C-alpha cells in the first residue's frame, strides 16, 4: 500500500538532516531568532500526533488552526497528517462571524489558537455554537476568561502524549494513510459571497511537489526561506510544504507588519509574496530617485535604463546583449543593484515567487531590471496553488509563466481558463451543487479567470465576473485600470466603478504621507485629512497623474471622475477579504452616496 507522503515527511527529513536547522522563529522578548532542528521538529510532530489520539480525535476528523504564522502551526499540521486527521486553517484576522461559520460548517471539535485575539474570538464562538468542545492555546501569555475551565495551553496538550500506548495507534494510522486521504479544507476568502471549503487531498500536494520539481530546479537544502504570507493561504502553505520537502530552512515571520525589519535580519534566498510587496519596493526606490539630484540621480536613472535594456529587451527575448551594454550592466551590478538589494535585505536572493494579484508591468520591469529573479505565477486554492509560473531567464512581462508539468490548461467559453490534473480539488466541502457548477460536463475546473496562451506562456486578462458593462454597452476590465493606477507613488488603493454606469469613475485611497509632504512643499495649509483631500490643488495633482497613467486606454475606459477617501478600505467594514482582496459589492454599498454624487450631472 502507498502511504501519504506528508504523513512521514518530517520524520524522513530528520533521519536525513538530524540536528541541522529546519525552522527559525523570532522571539520578541529577546529580539533573537530561535532555531528548531529537524530532530526536534520530528519529535514535536510525534508528540502532537500522540496527543491528538489521546484527546480522541478520529481518523479524517476536522480540527482547526486559528493563528498567525507560528512554528506550532507546522507541528499541528504534520502531527495531524501522521494521524490521518484533516486540518482547517483560519486566517488570524478572521471575524467572530467567519470563525463561527467555519467551525460549524466543518464540525470542528478542537481548535488551536495563536494569541489573545484568536482565543477571545474562539471562546465567544464556543459559547454560541454546538461543535467546538475545546480550545488549545499556543501562546502561554494568553489570559483565559474567568469562567473557562476547559481550554488548555499547548504545553499542557503535549503532556497528554506521555503514555506510550498512544504511539501504537499513531503508527497504525500512519501505516494506513493514503494519498486519497483528505489533508486540508481551505476556506476561500469569499469576495463574491459565502466562504467555501476547498478540499485538498494528500494526492493534490504530492502532484504539486512533482510538478514543481520539474520547474524549480535550483531550490534545495541550502536555501533560507522567509515565510511572511499567512500559512492559511494556499500560496504560502503549498510553498512552505514544498520547501520542507526540499530540505530548506524556513524562517517564520510572526507579524506581517514587521517584514521590512525581519527580512534584513534573515536576508533570505527565497520568499513568496504578493505584488503589493514589490509595489512598495518600487515606490520606495522611485521616491529616492525623485529626491536625488545631479550625478547621483542621473546614475540611478541610467542604471534602471541599462538593466531594462540588458535583461528585458535582450535576454528576455533570447538575444545576446552587446559588449558595451554588458559592461555597463556589470558595473551597475557591482554598485547600484547590489546596494539596492542589500538595502532591502535580498542580496542573497535565489528567486522570489510572486502571485495572488496582477503585477503592474512597470513594477515587474523594475524588479527584473535590477537583477532580482521574481518568478511570477498564477494559481488558485482549488489548484493547490501553482497552475503556471516563470523561471529564471524564462519570463515575459505581463505573463504568468508556463503551465506546470502535470497540469492541463484549456481556454473555454468567454476565454475562461479551465484546468485538469492531479493538483485540482475534488470539490467543495459539503457543497455538491456548487461543486457541480465549478466543473464542466467533461470534467474541467472552471477558474472564472479569462486569459490566453501565447508562445507557451499563459496570460491573464480579467476575472470574468469582474467585467463591468457600462450603460452605453461598453465592457470595462477594472483590474487592468487599477493595476496601472496603483503604481503611482501618491496612490495606495484604488477601485474602479463602472458597472451599469454612464462612464468610469474611481474611489482612491491616497498615500497620505506623500500627499501631506506635497502639501508642505507647496505651502498648502489644511486642518484635517479630509480638508486636504478636498483642496483644488491636490485634486489637480491627482487628475494630472491619472490622465498620464491612463493614456493607453480607450476613451470609454478612462477614469472621468474620482473621489479621494480620507480613510483606507478595511477588513473591519467588510471591504477587504483576509487576503486583502477588495469586495466590490461591499465597497459599492458602503460608499453608495459618494459614488452616486460622482454621477450627478452638475458635478465637475
* Residue 283, in any domain of the structure: no
- In whole angstroms, what is the distance from residue 79 CA to residue 96 CA? 27
| Residue 327 grid coordinates | 559592461
The structural domain count of the chain equals: 1
How far is 568 from 566, CA to CA, in rounded Å? Answer: 7
Closest CA to 282 of 372, 197, 349: 372
Asked, for residue 489, whether it belongs to a domain, the answer is yes
Residue 382 DSSP class: G
Report yes or no on 334 lying in a domain: no
Predicted local distance difference test score (pLDDT) of residue 477: 84
Q: What is the mean pLDDT of each run of 10 residues along the chain (604 residues)?
A: 92 98 95 97 97 97 98 98 98 90 96 97 93 97 94 96 84 97 89 78 98 93 96 96 98 92 96 91 90 92 97 95 97 95 96 90 96 96 97 94 97 95 97 95 95 96 78 80 90 89 92 93 93 94 92 88 93 82 87 91 54
Predicted pLDDT of residue 193: 56
- 397 in any annotated domain: no
Cβ-count burial of 519 within 10 angstroms (0-12 exposed, 13-18 middle, 19+ buried)?
middle
Residue 517 lies in a domain: yes
Residue 532 covered by a domain: yes
Residue 295 located in a structural domain? no
Cell triple for 547: 490622465
Say which residues have a Cβ less than 8 Å from residue 570's Cβ, sequence separation at least 6. 576
What are the grid coordinates assigned to 86, written together?
484533516
Between the CA of residue 489 and those of 343, 485, 514, what are the distances in Å?
Answer: 19, 9, 7
Tell me the backbone φ, ψ of residue 309, rounded to 5 degrees.
-65, -45
DSSP state of 189: -
Q: Residue 331 contacts by C-beta under 8 Å, 6 or more apart in sequence?
A: none
* Domain CATH for 593: 3.30.300.30
Identify the domain containing residue 567 by its residue range.
Answer: 467-598
Q: Has residue 85 been placed in a domain?
A: no
Amino acid at each position: 500500500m502507498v502511504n501519504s507522503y506528508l504523513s512521514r515527511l518530517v520524520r524522513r527529513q530528520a533521519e536525513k538532516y538530524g540536528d541541522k536547522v529546519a525552522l527559525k522563529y523570532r522571539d520578541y522578548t529577546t529580539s533573537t531568532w530561535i532555531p528548531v532542528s529537524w530532530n526536534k521538529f520530528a519529535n514535536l510532530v510525534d508528540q502532537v500526533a500522540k496527543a491528538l489520539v489521546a484527546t480522541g480525535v478520529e481518523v479524517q476528523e476536522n480540527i482547526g488552526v486559528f493563528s498567525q504564522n507560528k512554528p506550532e502551526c507546522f507541528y499541528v499540521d504534520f502531527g495531524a497528517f501522521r494521524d490521518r486527521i484533516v486540518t482547517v486553517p483560519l486566517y488570524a484576522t478572521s471575524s467572530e462571524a467567519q470563525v463561527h461559520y467555519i467551525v460549524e460548517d466543518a464540525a470542528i471539535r478542537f481548535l488551536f489558537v495563536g494569541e489573545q485575539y484568536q482565543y477571545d474570538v474562539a471562546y465567544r464562538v464556543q459559547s454560541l455554537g454546538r461543535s467546538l468542545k475545546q480550545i488549545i492555546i499556543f501562546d502561554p501569555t494568553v489570559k483565559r476568561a474567568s469562567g473557562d475551565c476547559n481550554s488548555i495551553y499547548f504545553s499542557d496538550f503535549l503532556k497528554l502524549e506521555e503514555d506510550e500506548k498512544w504511539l501504537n495507534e499513531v503508527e497504525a494510522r500512519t501505516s494506513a494513510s493514503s494519498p486519497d486521504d483528505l489533508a486540508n479544507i481551505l476556506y476561500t476568502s469569499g469576495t463574491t459571497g459565502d466562504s467555501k471549503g476547498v478540499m485538498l487531498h494528500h494526492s493534490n500536494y504530492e502532484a504539486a511537489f512533482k510538478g514543481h520539481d520539474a520547474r524549480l530546479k535550483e531550490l534545495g537544502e541550502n536555501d533560507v526561506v522567509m515565510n511572511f504570507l499567512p500559512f492559511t493561504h494556499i500560496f504560502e502553505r503549498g510553498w512552505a510544504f514544498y520547501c520542507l520537502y526540499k530540505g530548506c530552512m524556513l524562517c517564520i515571520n510572526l507579524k506581517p507588519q514587521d517584514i521590512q525589519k525581519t527580512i534584513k535580519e534573515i536576508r533570505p534566498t527565497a520568499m513568496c509574496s504578493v505584488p503589493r510587496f514589490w509595489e512598495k519596493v518600487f515606490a520606495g526606490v522611485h521616491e529616492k530617485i525623485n529626491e536625488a539630484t545631479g550625478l547621483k540621480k542621473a546614475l540611478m536613472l541610467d542604471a534602471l535604463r541599462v538593466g531594462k535594456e540588458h535583461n528585458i529587451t535582450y535576454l528576455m527575448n533570447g538575444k545576446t546583449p552587446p559588449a558595451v551594454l554588458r559592461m555597463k550592466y556589470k558595473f551597475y551590478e557591482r554598485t547600484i543593484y547590489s546596494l539596492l538589494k542589500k538595502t532591502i535585505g535580498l542580496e542573497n536572493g535565489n528567486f522570489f515567487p510572486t502571485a495572488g494579484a496582477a503585477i503592474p508591468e512597470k513594477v515587474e520591469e523594475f524588479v527584473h531590471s535590477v537583477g532580482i529573479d521574481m518568478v511570477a505565477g498564477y494559481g488558485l486554492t482549488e489548484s493547490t496553488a501553482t497552475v503556471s509560473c516563470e523561471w529564471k531567464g524564462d519570463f515575459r512581462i505581463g505573463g504568468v509563466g508556463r503551465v506546470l508539468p502535470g497540469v492541463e490548461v484549456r481556454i473555454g467559453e468567454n476565454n475562461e481558463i479551465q484546468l485538469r490534473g492531479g493538483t485540482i480539488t475534488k470539490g467543495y466541502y459539503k457543497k455538491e451543487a456548487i461543486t457541480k457548477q465549478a466543473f464542466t460536463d467533461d470534467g474541467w475546473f472552471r477558474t472564472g479567470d479569462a486569459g490566453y496562451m501565447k508562445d507557451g506562456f499563459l496570460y491573464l486578462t480579467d476575472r470574468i465576473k469582474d467585467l463591468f458593462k457600462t450603460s452605453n454597452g461598453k465592457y470595462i476590465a477594472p483590474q487592468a485600470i487599477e493595476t496601472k493606477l496603483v503604481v503611482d507613488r501618491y496612490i495606495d488603493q484604488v477601485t474602479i466603478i463602472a458597472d451599469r454606469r454612464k462612464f468610469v469613475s474611481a474611489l482612491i485611497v491616497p498615500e497620505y504621507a506623500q500627499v501631506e509632504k506635497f502639501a508642505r512643499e507647496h505651502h498648502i495649509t489644511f486642518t484635517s485629512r479630509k480638508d486636504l483631500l478636498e483642496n483644488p490643488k491636490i485634486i489637480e495633482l491627482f487628475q494630472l497623474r491619472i490622465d498620464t497613467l491612463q493614456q493607453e486606454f480607450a476613451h470609454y475606459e478612462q477614469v472621468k471622475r474620482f473621489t479621494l477617501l480620507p480613510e483606507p478600505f478595511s477588513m473591519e467594514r467588510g471591504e477587504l477579504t483576509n487576503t486583502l482582496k477588495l469586495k466590490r459589492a461591499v465597497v459599492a454599498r458602503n460608499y453608495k452616496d459618494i459614488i452616486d454624487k460622482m454621477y450627478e450631472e452638475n458635478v465637475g
